[in-house]
Chain A
Amino acid sequence: MPINTGYFIKEAATSFKRNWVMSIGGIVTIFLSLLLIGVSLLIGSAANSLITGTESKVTIEVYIKDDANQTDVEGLQRKLQTNSLVKQVNYISKDQAMQIFKEQMKKSPDVINNLEGNPLPASLKIELHDAHDVNKVVDSIKAAPEFKKVCDRPDSPDSSLHYGQDIVQRLFNFTRVIRVVGVVFIVMLAVVSLIFINNTIRMAIYARRNELSIMRLVGASNWFIRMPFIFEGMIQSIIGALLAIGVIMLIQFVALPKIQNTIKFMSFGISNSFIWLISLILIAGGIVIGGLGSWLAMRRYLKI
């Protein structure tokens, strides 16, 4: 059978015109559910890049008092270097710390000029292989006798230790919540859009019942009869998917750069290839929803 694509598209377009309220309802629900899928993927990816960014920055800093015994400091450093969880330990002297501070505060020279002497402590900077091991390493530092001797504030040794564990934990929790809420909403919206498409196709079948009865009588093949409805469901969902992709693109190329400009200290850049992947997922998701909705409607309402 020669497939007359033009005929199917024309039929689908006519049906859309006849039934545009339902069709737009279908498009909007598909658009929303796909947008939600896209946005939650975006947030997930942004959060991931935030976490990895933070993770690589999770270093433990041990502040050392100015009059610490140099051998004790070296002893602590050597001890930590033998720890298998530790990647490397750097000693940062008071002068180096000042240097770094000046570098960071280049834009506000007043702050530097107002400093009297060098208030910054020397420190040991400990980098880890895996951010999850932070607590273990911290405990081993606390247990070391050298630590108590050299730490900046012997009265409360803990405040001489600095590490970013809370941030990481909070980000982990945040992404978990986003994921659960996202999945619930996506499933709900997918069901709603299925119902909408199902209804649109039902109306389309009803509107064309005379044509359909004649098509059956003269022996139009089952696929020929079904094709316009499948087209209709597909077109709706592809339009919905394109709208969702448009919004995702706006977020990626317009909104995110602006946000990134205002919040410089966090990097949540999302690679363009990931955006293309999201677009692909949304198109595929739209086709699945549209195809399934039409198919369900035809099974129920289109007797062949």
Chain B
Amino acid sequence: MPDLQATLENIVPSGSMSASRRPTGPPMIVMQKVTKRYVPERAALEGVNIEIDAGEFVFIVGHSGSGKSTFIRSLLHEVIPTSGRIIVAGHDLSKIRTAKIPYLRRNIGCVFQDFKLLPNKTAFENVAFALQVIGKSKHVIDTQVPEVLRLVGLEGKINNYPHELSGGEQQRVSVARAFVNRPPLLLCDEPTGNLDPQTSFGIMKLLERINHTGTTVLIATHDQEMVNRMRRRVIALDEGHIIRDQNRGVYGHAN
């Protein structure tokens, strides 16, 4: 219905969407009035409304305790909001059944500050593990794992154990593990928190490359320099409130 399409474009001012946002298909993440209280008197998130489209590259910034981790973990359904509605990759988390949660998580890759690699498995085995436990065949594992390790730049080290790799390399393994199943959404919680600036930049470039494949990338960080350098959408949280949402933004100062 071309008429409807035209009408919609008239109603929604095109200025509200940046060039980097591609408003095709449903949004990857929708939060409506999301509030989370671990204790009644203090909210970790309060009245958060946000929409993140498929294919975006977004930074979530804020101090410790600003609600970044709660934000990320609520998308994984590890934290269940006190009120409000969250939709991730088409799953309405307020209605999701426990048995369906694993399938939600197969659509979400996760990267953490502490890498979370298994020390007794090689880089290959660590990445393969993620496919093994969702029941992929050996054939799929043997083709996809070397491919994704090549993508993250570790083709020469696939048989090394984590303790034989540098911090940056370990984080690359963990990115490979998060991405090997080609999830439409990649969540990164302080991915460069343990790395020096040079290595961090390499990881950011890698995440950017993954973003170019169409994957939505969401990064919680307090790495100011990195955010300023990348010039991507920035959502700033302070005491559970969104205080700023800018396209091509900078880290800025909450206070």
- Whether, in the assembled complex, B236 has its beta carbon less than 8 Å from a beta carbon of chain A, the answer is no
What is the 8 Å Cβ interface bit string for chain B, positions 89-127, against chain A (1 contact, 0 not)?
000000000110111111110100000101000000000
Asked whether, in the complex, the Cβ of B137 is within 8 Å of the Cβ of A7, the reply is: no
Contact partners of B106 in chain A: CB under 8 A: 218-219
- Whether, in the assembled complex, A220 has its beta carbon less than 8 Å from a beta carbon of chain B, the answer is yes
Asked whether, in the complex, the Cβ of A218 is within 8 Å of the Cβ of B99, the reply is: no
Within 199-251 of A, Cβ neighbours of B (below 8 Å) are at 210-211, 213-222, 224-225
Q: Looking at the complex, which one of B116, B134, B137 makes contact with A210 (CB distance below 8 Å)? A: B116
- Whether, in the assembled complex, A1 has its beta carbon less than 8 Å from a beta carbon of chain B, the answer is yes
Closest chain-A Cβ to B109's Cβ sits at a distance in Å of: 8
Contact partners of B104 in chain A: CB under 8 A: 219
Q: Looking at the complex, which one of B76, B102, B135 makes contact with A2 (CB distance below 8 Å)? A: B135
C-alpha spacing A214/B116, complex, angstroms: 8
Closest to A213 in B: B116
Closest to B116 in A: A214
Q: Given A210-B118, A214-B116, A214-B118, does the pair A219, B103 have CB atoms closer than 8 Å?
A: yes
How many A-B residue pairs have C-beta atoms within 8 angstroms? Tell me: 60
Q: What secondary structure prevails in chain A residues at the interface with B?
A: helix
Q: Count how many chain A residues have C-beta atoms less than 8 Å from C-beta atoms of the other chain.
A: 20
- Whether, in the assembled complex, B200 has its beta carbon less than 8 Å from a beta carbon of chain A, the answer is no
- Whether, in the assembled complex, B181 has its beta carbon less than 8 Å from a beta carbon of chain A, the answer is yes
Contact partners of A216 in chain B: CB under 8 A: 102, 105
Contact partners of B103 in chain A: CB under 8 A: 219, 221
Closest to B177 in A: A218
Asked whether, in the complex, the Cβ of B76 is within 8 Å of the Cβ of A217, the reply is: yes
Asked whether, in the complex, the Cβ of A218 is within 8 Å of the Cβ of B181, the reply is: yes
Closest to A7 in B: B132
Closest chain-B Cβ to A224's Cβ sits at a distance in Å of: 6
- Whether, in the assembled complex, B130 has its beta carbon less than 8 Å from a beta carbon of chain A, the answer is yes
Contact partners of B11 in chain A: CB under 8 A: none
Indicate the member of B102, B105, B108 with the most A CB atoms within 10 Å.
Answer: B102
Contact partners of B105 in chain A: CB under 8 A: 216-219
- Whether, in the assembled complex, B39 has its beta carbon less than 8 Å from a beta carbon of chain A, the answer is no
- Whether, in the assembled complex, B129 has its beta carbon less than 8 Å from a beta carbon of chain A, the answer is yes
- Whether, in the assembled complex, B19 has its beta carbon less than 8 Å from a beta carbon of chain A, the answer is no
Binding site for B on A (CB under 8 A): 1-4, 7, 210-211, 213-222, 224-225, 304
List the 6 closest A-B pairs by CB distance, nearest first.
A219-B105, A219-B106, A220-B133, A1-B135, A218-B130, A219-B102
Give 6 pairs: A residue, B residue, CB < 8 Å, sorted on A.
A214-B130, A214-B133, A219-B106, A219-B134, A224-B135, A304-B101
